[in-house]
Structure 1
Amino acid sequence: MGNCFHLTGPPTNTLHHHVVNNMSNMSLASGHKVIPLEGEELAHRERDFTGESMGTVRLEPGRWLFPKAYTRFADNVYNFKWRQGDVCIMTWPKCGTTWMQEIIWNMRNNPNLDNPEVNKPLFMKSPFLEFDMIMEGCMNDGSPPPEEHPFQAMCPGADRKDGIMIQMSERLADPRTIKTHLPFSLLSPNILDNAKVVYVARNPKDAVVSYHHHCRLINMHGYKGSFEDFVKYFIEDNLMYGPYWLTLKEAWEKRNHPNVYIMYFEDMKKDIIGQLKKLDAFIGTNLTEKQFENIAEWTSFAAMKAREEQSKGHLNKEVMEKDGGFLRKGVTGDWKNKLTPELESLVDDWTKKNISGLGVEFK
């Protein structure tokens, strides 16, 4: 999820921080109650997720799971002012988010592959709205974040304690393309009055395999447990961001809204040109056939992998050399190489229980 550092200093008024003596009494602008993880539950997580050692909270209702630092930024994220023309990319982690960021930004800004800003880091072109909670919520490794210099350039005079990524999102020039892993219930209830939301869904079997690699690779997670235990964390809603199905359900319930478009990772892999044309109709980019070909080629896994820059100081070198970096495989069906028959049955039963009545069908 990027590079990590620890922000210091007291909460500021601009963060609308609720001053409370006991975090368990804290409520957020979204109406959620904050419940800190404590005791053996917290100790067990910190043994397995060695990078997530600065506190973890659960939000109710919903069982959403976040670093404690989320509470510092939650209200600003909830009250974020969405503008006409914004596109919000919404996914559960490891469901094609980075791919979709590249696709939409280039469709809107670089269809002829001649925009000089194309080589800027992705977080500058398409910010990760709630990333401040991750930067603050992980251990300080002593190195300056790569976001610091662009933040100072985009937001002169702004205080980074008020959130680097959210302030960059606010000041990003139109048309804005912004990423989030948050569900609708933790975002502004007015988001669809102005913004279009593209939700990307992925087969949960592939999602958990990819997220497992991610949490082993990224030092701020530092996952040291077994793959079997990771799958159990997944189906018990105990991974960062919490319930896979509830995130999808909240989006699915809005699928008929004119400003919501749901895409499947698997469909994109099967027929990228066809999916780009449907996306083009939704976001109104009016691309030509040649431009569709440009986007498909520029955002192919091979092309993105060739351009990938690894922030090696924040990655587990052993995992990266053995199993790959942030962009690992970009395929469908890799779960067949990882899930044992027992784990496959466990995930299938969990899926059947949660997918009933939704109408969602993964290929």
Structure 2
Amino acid sequence: MKLASGHEVTPLEGEELARQERDWTGYTEGMVRLHPGSWVFPAPFTDYADRIYNFEVKPSDVMVVTWPKCGTTWVQEVVWTMRNNPNLDHPQAALPVNARVPFLEFDMLMRSKKLTPPGPDHPIMQGFNKLCPGKNPADGIFVQIGEATPAPRTLKSHLPLSLLPPALVNVGKVVYVARNPKDVVVSFCHHSRIFKNHNYVGSFEDFVKYFIDGDLVYGPYWQHVKEAWEKKDNPNVHFLFYEDLKENNIEELKRLDDFLGTKLTQEQLNNVARHTSFPQMKARDSVLGGGDMEAVFNMEIVNKDGGFFRKGEVGDWKGKYTPELEAKMDDWIKTRLSDLGIGFKYTL
């Protein structure tokens, strides 16, 4: 099978599939790998890939793009607030951030048999029916919500740039967020354990191996970052580091303000900084918005180790790796990332 992006799709089979099915019990519809790039996805991605690739980009579009757990939710809230709510008075600000910023490929993760499909009274379906009357949800609830969202749209994706619309970096704008890989691994492992549609049941040691081998969903981290880093000088691409946004929040918000052309005052920038701080976002629960947590989360792990908003710290990886695992990560970083010339910050 070949996608509109030119990628060839190969189903995972044999021992490789068996390992995924053993450790990731939330991926219930099979797994595929895409070449070039060796991207790994749940098989339902192929049902939406061409629609996403052919998504019509508008000049006012801003898409937040990251590999998972690189500050996506934080930055999508920052961007939406800067563009729509700098005075903190927008009537839709209380909605979950994913209701305001469509997550284009989310349907592939909703197809897990570990989740109950949303019924007609579910907020997701109510939003879909309002924005997309007469449309078929089977064609992709979230990509169609993205298509129907009025301009100016703020959108979100974890897909690499090579699987996103080619016009994105020439017609719209991209805010790409990168985070140091040691913290990414720790955060994504926790995320994968608490969400039922991932339902990772393997060890942390095995998770590190999945990451190093490029076998996690969304594929090789280094390749994802590389595709964006190569476009960092494009005037429509803003490459942002999670650690810089934590360490120099107002300064980074000013740079983002310049890129977005939002022309915020200092008071408005202070509003954005306060409203999107980790404690305030955690208090608002801006992902689920008070939804049915037990339907989505493994509550035993949430109650023991924390939920979606856990710590949000730089350097949380310390003490999580054995010396052997840390050495493997250091070797991988040297092999895969040193050529890019990126000086990731591992502590502040």
Common topology (TM > 0.5): yes
1:97 aligns with 2:72: yes
TM-superposed CA distance for 1:66, in Å, is: 0.4
> Is the contact between residue 67 and residue 137 of structure 1 (CA under 8 Å) also seen in structure 2?
no
Q: Alpha-carbon deviations, 1:223-259, whole Å to 9, x = none? A: 1111000010011011100100000000000011110
Counterpart residue number, 2:7? 32
Kept after mapping to 1: 8 A contact 2:193/2:298: yes
State the one-letter code of the partner of 1:227.
F
Q: Cα RMSD between the aligned structures? A: 1.2
Residues 143 and 86 (structure 1), Cα distance of their counterparts in 2 relative to 1, 3 Å cut: closer
Which of residues 122, 134, 139 in structure 2 aligns to 1:157?
Answer: 134
Identify the residue that residue 64 of structure 1 maps to in structure 2. Answer: 39
SS state of the match for residue 107, structure 2? helix
Is 1:110 the counterpart of 2:85 in the alignment? yes
Distance 1:61 1:204, change over 3 A: same
The residue aligned with 2:147 is 170
Q: Does 1:220 align with 2:197?
A: yes
Give unpaired runs (5+ residues) of structure 1: 1-25
Aligned length: 338
Q: Does 1:352 align with 2:334?
A: yes
CA contact (8 A) 1:310 1:325 kept: no
What residue is the counterpart of 2:316 in the other structure?
334
Q: How does 1:228-307 map to 2 (within 5 A)?
A: 228-307=205-284
- What letter is aligned with 1:329? K
* Structure 1 position 79, deviation (Å): 0.4
Residue 73 (1) aligns with residue 55 (2):
no
Residue 164 of structure 2: aligned partner: 187
Counterpart in the other structure of 1:9: none
- Name the CA distance, whole Å, in 2 between partners of 1:140 and 1:200: 29
For 2:118 and 2:30, how far apart are their aligned partners in 1?
21
The corresponding residue for 1:48 is 23
- For 2:90, the aligned partner's letter is N
How far residue 139 of structure 1 moved from its aligned partner, in angstroms, is 3.8
| Alpha-carbon distance, 1:138 to partner | 4.6
CA offsets, 1:4-50, max 9 Å, x none?
xxxxxxxxxxxxxxxxxxxxxx0000111100001121111111111
Percent of paired sites with the same residue: 55
Partner of 1:134: 109
Q: Which amino acid is the alignment partner of residue 199 of structure 2?
A: G
Q: Which residue matches 2:182? A: 205
SS for the counterpart of 2:310 is coil
CA distance in 1, matches of 2:266, 2:83: 15
> How many Å apart are 1:325 and its aligned residue?
0.7
In structure 2, give the amino acid aligned to 1:36. P
Q: In the TM superposition, what whole-angstrom CA distance separates every residue of 1:85-108 from its partner, at most 9, and x where no partner exists?
A: 110101000000000010000000
CA shift at 1:359, angstroms? Answer: 1.4
Q: 1:69 to 1:137 in 2, by over 3 A?
A: farther
CA shift, 1:156, in A, is 1.2
Equivalent AA in structure 2 for residue 279 of structure 1: L
Q: Matches of 2:108 and 2:164 in 1, distance apart?
A: 15
Return the letter of the residue paired with 1:188.
P
Deviation of residue 136 (structure 1)?
2.3
Q: Distance in 2 between matches of 1:27 and 1:264?
A: 34
* Rounded Cα–Cα distance in structure 2 between residues aligned with 1:77 and 1:104: 21
TM-score by length of 1: 0.91
Q: Cα distance, 1:221 vs. partner?
A: 0.8
- How far, CA to CA, are the matches of 1:328 and 1:138 in structure 2? 26
Unmatched tracts of structure 2, length 5 or more: none
Cα separation, 2, equivalents of 1:159 and 1:142: 15
* AA aligned opposite 2:230: E
Question: Residue type of the partner of 1:190?
Answer: A
Give the whole-Å Cα distance in 1 for the aligned partners of 2:243 and 2:96: 26
**Which one-letter code corresponds to 1:293 in the other structure?**
N
Secondary structure, counterpart of 2:10 in structure 1 = strand
Contact 2:115 2:196 in 1 (8 A): no
- Structure 2 length as normaliser, TM-score? 0.95
Q: Which moved more, 1:47-56 or 1:203-212?
A: 47-56
- Secondary structure of the 2:92 match is helix
Q: Distance in 2 between matches of 1:362 and 1:220?
A: 30
Q: CA deviation at 1:337?
A: 2.6
Output the CA distance in 1 between the equivalents of 2:83 and 2:118.
34
* Partner Cα separation in structure 1 for residue 78 and residue 47 of structure 2: 31
Which residue number in structure 1 is paired with residue 62 of structure 2?
A: 87
Q: Retained in 2: the 8 A contact 1:237–1:243?
A: yes
Output the CA distance in 2 between the equivalents of 1:163 and 1:225: 30
Change (3 A) 1:78 1:234: same
1:67 partner letter: P
The 8 Å contact of residues 73 and 163 in structure 1, kept in 2 or not, is answered as: yes
Matches of 1:310 and 1:334 in 2, distance apart? Answer: 28
Structure 1 residues 310 and 337: alpha-carbon distance in aligned structure 2, compared to 1, 3 A threshold: farther
Structure 2 partner of 1:4: none
